[in-house]
């Protein structure tokens, strides 16, 4: 698998700072199912669904019944959800990113719960080696995993200590996603997140091989401006060869409500801007692709331009270090109908990769 320079840099940091030895293994056949309701109070034993040896549920663990004000009678069932400080987000939108490390494997899931809980929560999972399919009871039966919960806007590895259950389904081929189901409770007295509970229901973790499922590419002819490109059929434009300007795995998530894309931790707007040729007042064209299909023509634009463009634009002066916005046009105005930014083929790819906030 090809890794970007940013990934290799992060890998080097991991090798210098992480303890990357050890192995990962699933729990025994009688492990708890993370999605299995626990109707037995006080840690009474429950038989595993496969008939394996019974385990005692952790007292007050993450698979116990939810607080009464969270809605459903059983917390660890149904859609993804979160609970903190007497408030619930049910359901909760969850996006995911694989960690870019050569020494070990892991992933980060973001619970987009700020509107309901006042904070976006983050579940961080890392294996000292490869992720392995299995059922895990945390923390006693972690099998070499580190699992923590944190404030997604103030990430700090490994986060607050969490107990509960985790099921990993890791594919045997590199072209399929890993899937995770977990039910966790933060057990960290004094921490602002103490008592938080999170249920991730069949969260999809896109593999690195899906990078090309969503791409933004420049044109082969860098002298062609956006106005000129707009006069040609989209399929006739010759795209730049090699790696795209950015792809699916560069994104942590994309918010379809405001068309703001958020970079994963190893990418940034500076990375993009440093790759661009001159962005003139007539715009630098790019093409957005989903699963190899050309979806729409857009342009990078500079705020010093007085030229209007009726296509999606990214104004480089408006790009934040960790995000970018695709506007409907320049210098503004109402989006066309249908809006190319809302093309269902883009939404389908991002949703299937666990990177879409509707």
pLDDT by residue (tens digit) across 161-191? 899 999 999 999 999 999 999 999 999 999 9
* pLDDT less than 50: residues of the chain: 1-73
Residues 270 and 132 in one domain: no
Domain that holds residue 270: 209-357
Considering the domain architecture, whether residues 149 and 253 belong to the same structural domain is answered as no
Pick from 205, 225, 249: which residue ends a domain? 205
| Mean pLDDT, the chain, whole residue set | 83
Same domain, 127 and 161: yes
* C-alpha torsion 163→74→357→158, nearest 10: 0
Last residue of a domain, one of 205, 227, 261: 205
- Do 256 and 272 fall within a single domain? yes
Does pTM top 0.75 for this prediction? yes
| Final residue belonging to a domain, choices 152, 182, 205 | 205
> How far apart (Å, rounded) are the C-alpha atoms in residues 186 and 105?
22
Residues 183 and 237 reside in one and the same domain: no
Please tell me whether residues 19 and 74 are part of one structural domain. Answer: yes
Give the pLDDT of residue 139.
Answer: 85
One domain for residues 27 and 63: yes
Q: How far is CA 149 from CA 80, 215, 285, in A?
A: 15, 31, 41
Residues 235, 322, single domain; the answer is yes
On whether both 138 and 238 belong to a single domain, the answer is no
Answer yes or no: do 229 and 91 share one domain.
no
Phi, psi angles (nearest 5°) of residue 50: -90, 5
Spatial distance between the Cα atoms of 88 and 79, rounded to a whole number of angstroms = 13
Query: According to the model, what pLDDT value does residue 144 have?
Result: 79
Structurally, the chain folds into a number of domains equal to 2
Please tell me the predicted confidence (pLDDT) of residue 345: 98
- In this structure, are 323 and 231 located in the same domain? yes
pLDDT number for residue 334:
79
């Amino acid at each position: 698998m090809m890794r970007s320079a940013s990934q290799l840099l992060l890998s080097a940091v991991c090798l210098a700072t992480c303890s990357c030895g050890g192995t990962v293994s699933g729990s025994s056949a009688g492990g708890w199912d993370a999605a299995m309701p626990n109707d037995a109070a006080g840690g009474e034993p429950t038989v595993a669904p496969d008939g394996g040896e019974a385990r005692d549920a952790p007292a007050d663990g993450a698979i116990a019944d939810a607080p009464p004000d969270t809605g459903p009678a059983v917390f660890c069932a149904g859609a993804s959800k979160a609970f903190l400080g007497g408030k619930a987000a049910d359901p909760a939108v969850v996006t995911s990113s694989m960690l870019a490390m050569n020494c070990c494997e892991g992933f980060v899931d973001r619970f987009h719960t700020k509107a309901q809980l006042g904070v976006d929560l983050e579940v961080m999972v890392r294996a000292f080696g490869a992720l392995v399919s299995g059922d895990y009871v945390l923390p006693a039966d972690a099998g070499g995993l580190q699992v923590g919960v944190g404030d997604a806007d103030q990430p700090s590895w490994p986060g607050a200590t969490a107990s509960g259950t985790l099921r990993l389904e890791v594919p045997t081929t590199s072209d399929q996603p890993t899937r995770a189901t977990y039910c966790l409770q933060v057990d960290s007295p004094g921490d602002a997140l103490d008592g938080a509970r999170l249920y991730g229901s069949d969260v999809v973790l896109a593999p690195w091989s899906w990078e090309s499922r969503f791409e933004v590419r420049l044109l082969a002819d860098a002298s062609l401006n956006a106005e000129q490109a707009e006069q040609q059929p989209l399929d006739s434009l010759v795209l730049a060869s090699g790696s795209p300007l950015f792809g699916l795995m560069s994104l942590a998530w994309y918010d379809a409500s405001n068309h703001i894309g958020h970079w994963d931790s190893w990418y940034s707007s500076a990375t993009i801007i440093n790759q661009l040729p001159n962005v003139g007042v007539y715009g630098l064209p790019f093409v957005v692709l989903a699963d190899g299909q050309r979806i729409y023509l857009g342009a990078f634009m500079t705020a010093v331009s007085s030229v209007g463009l009726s296509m999606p634009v990214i104004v480089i002066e408006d790009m934040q270090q960790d995000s970018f916005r695709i506007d409907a046009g320049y210098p503004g105005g109402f989006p066309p109908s249908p809006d190319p930014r809302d093309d269902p083929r883009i939404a389908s790819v991002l949703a299937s990769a666990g990177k879409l906030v509707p």
